[in-house]
Amino acid sequence: MFDLTWTRKWSPSWVNQQNALAAMRLIKALLSRFRKAAVIGAGIEY
């Protein structure tokens, strides 16, 4: 078991929440870009 007090000291929950939100936004943005690129690619192919 790792020390929870140590992780709390060095990475507050609000920082983790902000990082998680930023990561989710980044992933969503990338997914939408890939979808657009796939649609454009499919349009060019066919």
pLDDT of residue 25: 94
Helix (H) or strand (E) holding 9: helix 4-10
Each residue's pLDDT tens digit, 12-44? 776 788 888 899 999 999 999 988 888 888 887
pTM here?
A: 0.52
Tell me how many domains the chain contains.
1
| pLDDT, average across residues 1-17 | 64
Provide the token pair at 20.
Answer: 């998680």
pLDDT confidence of residue 7: 56
pLDDT at 43: 82
φ/ψ (deg, to 5) at 3:
-75, 115
| Structural domain harbouring 26 | 4-42
So what's the pLDDT on residue 30? Answer: 93
